């Protein structure tokens, strides 16, 4: 039994007895009609959903714009004060290095106490 669909949405039923061929043709024509109906309904649902999708996209774009506007002053401040913060960081690292070099045992003691206190705080 061979059944193939042709390009014009009509089935080919070559090799079937006469009566079976008619029933198979009706059944396949009905199936083609059902598929076309479902496809039409899906197109209609997509057409109806399009305005809602567009509204959601507009709301999402507005949220992104609002977030960018809220972050802009902070980014501007950091850009303006970046060199000052960088210089302060370098000075702090240099001062710490010189203190550790001048007081190695005291530095190790401070590190041990700080580690102990942090572990107590974290484990609570």
Report the candidate in 2, 35, 27 with the shortest Cα–Cα distance to residue 16. 2
User: Looking at residues 23-47, what average pLDDT do you find?
Assistant: 79
Range(s) of the domain holding residue 78 = 4-123
Structure confidence by residue, pLDDT tens digits, 97-108: 999 999 999 999
| Strand intervals (E) in 6-87 | 11-12
Name the pLDDT band for 20 (thresholds 50, 70, 90): low
Beta-ladder partners of 11? 5
Name the pLDDT band for 1 (thresholds 50, 70, 90): very low
Name the pLDDT band for 32 (thresholds 50, 70, 90): confident
Q: How many domains does the chain have?
A: 1
Return the pLDDT at 113: 95
Residue 76 has pLDDT above 80, yes or no: yes
The reported pTM is 0.37
Structure tokens at 105: 């045992």
Q: Which residue has the tokens 């999708």?
A: 53
Distance (Å, rounded) from C-alpha 32 to C-alpha 8?
11
């Amino acid at each position: 039994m061979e059944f193939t669909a042709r390009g014009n949405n009509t089935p080919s039923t070559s090799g079937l007895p006469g009566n079976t061929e008619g029933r198979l043709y009706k059944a396949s024509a009905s199936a083609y009609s059902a598929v076309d109906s479902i496809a039409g309904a899906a197109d209609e649902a997509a057409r109806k959903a399009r305005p809602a999708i567009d509204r959601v996209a507009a709301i999402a774009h507005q949220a992104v714009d609002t977030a960018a506007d809220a972050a802009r002053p902070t980014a501007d401040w950091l850009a303006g004060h970046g060199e000052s913060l960088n210089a302060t960081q370098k000075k702090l690292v240099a001062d710490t290095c010189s203190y550790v070099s001048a007081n190695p045992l005291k530095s190790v003691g401070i590190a041990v106490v700080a580690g102990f206190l942090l572990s107590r705080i974290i484990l609570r």
